[in-house]
Chains A and B, each alone.
Chain A
Amino acid sequence: MNARGGPLRAVVGGRKGTPREILDAPHPLLSATTEPVDPTAPEVVAAAADLLATLRRETSTPGLAAPQIGLSWRLIAFDTRLHPRTRSWAGELVLANPRLASASHWDPGREGCASIPGLTADVPRASRITVHAHLPGTGEPVTIEADALEARCIQHQLDHLDGLLILDRVPGALSLHRRLHSCDS
């Protein structure tokens, strides 16, 4: 949940974004470290709205990061409400400059990625995290405390901001798998 107590719904400055194409690996933007943003800048607000619009279109994935739509900025969007393994649910959110403040209770889990359509991988992640960020548009600081699937999803998106894919996190040669069904996402 977020520090204000209830789930949030992203508004992104009242703008209606345009869904963008999702980049597939290999693509240089997916391996590049992203730049911090001014969350109140109009172009950042527009990008956040586009990221949210893309997430809403891609119903099979609970999260996206800006590099996946071709922007090398520190923006992520997520909404894990409909995922069967969700426990915490902070809401439908776009975050600017998210920063992992704490992580604990590490667990393995199998992940897919919207930018790697054919594969899944076993990735260890913290199952309890705290993230500080700003909301695009208002620039309001927020603190997200997430667990289980939402925590995993946020960490996956944070990795994208550092140019890391699930492929960079696998613990061994037998941890890479063909994607069989959508529940791997």
Chain B
Amino acid sequence: MGLSAVTVLGVDRPGVIAAVTGSLADCGANIQDSTMTLLGGHVAMMLLVSGDLDSAELLKRLCAPDLVVTASAIEAQRHFCEEGGGLGYVLTVHGPDRPGIISAISAVLAEDGGNITGMSTRLTGRLYVLIADVELPKEVDVAALMRRLAAVGACLDSEITFRPVEPDLL
């Protein structure tokens, strides 16, 4: 049973998700992980689907008029964080829009082996907002990292917060 990564992009309208997922079901594809959002009025979906059809056949049979659809075969690689394997943080950045904000911030995180596990950005008027879920290796000097983030934020005229995630495991 193969695993395919499917991407869907198109103008948002009611029924887009129903059409795509209905067509996937008709192809016998089982949706595993998926995410969907609106990007500037466009619907953007990414799905991992499994089924008997390979990605090329799946793409051929998918019925999604007016949408840009891709499908690629991928290896199943699931990584579950082991207990004590990493530290979760939420990064927020907001300030005037300009090119290079994400690259500057993500480079600082990457220097310390920080992994962005989720991210959304929004532009509204002049305000640019970035929110990211970040996983840090346990040995990272978080105070030093925060100083470097603050320095980059100051260069971007942006406010930055970097807070530990505090899950309540009940």
Contact = CB atoms under 8 A, between A and B. Distances in A.
A178 B122 contact: yes
Interface in A55-106: none
A119 B129 contact: yes
Main DSSP-derived SS at the B contact region? strand
Interface in B77-130: 90, 92, 94-96, 118-120, 122, 124-129
Interface string A165-179: 101101111111010
Residue with the highest number of chain A CB atoms closer than 10 Å, among B125, B126, B158: B125
A14 interface: no
A25 B92 CA distance: 14
B157 interface: yes
Contacts, number: 65
Interface string A138-181: 00000000000000000000000000010110111111101000
B127 A173 contact: no
A35 interface: no
Contact of A31 (B124, B125, B129, B159): B159
B122 A118 contact: yes
Contact of A117 (B96, B125, B159, B165): B125
A172 B131 contact: yes
Contact of B124 (A119, A170, A172, A174): A119
A173 B129 contact: no
Contacts of A178: 38, 122, 124
A24 B96 CA distance: 11
Nearest to B161: A168
A176 B123 CA distance: 11
A175 B91 CA distance: 12
23 contacts: A24-B125, A25-B127, A26-B95, A26-B126, A26-B127, A26-B157, A26-B158, A31-B159, A116-B127, A117-B124, A118-B124, A118-B125, A119-B129, A165-B94, A165-B159, A167-B94, A168-B94, A168-B159, A170-B131, A171-B165, A173-B118, A173-B131, A173-B133
Which 4 pairs between the two chains have the least Cβ-Cβ distance?
A: A118-B124, A173-B118, A173-B133, A167-B94
Interface of B: 38, 90, 92, 94-96, 118-120, 122, 124-129, 131-133, 157-159, 161, 165
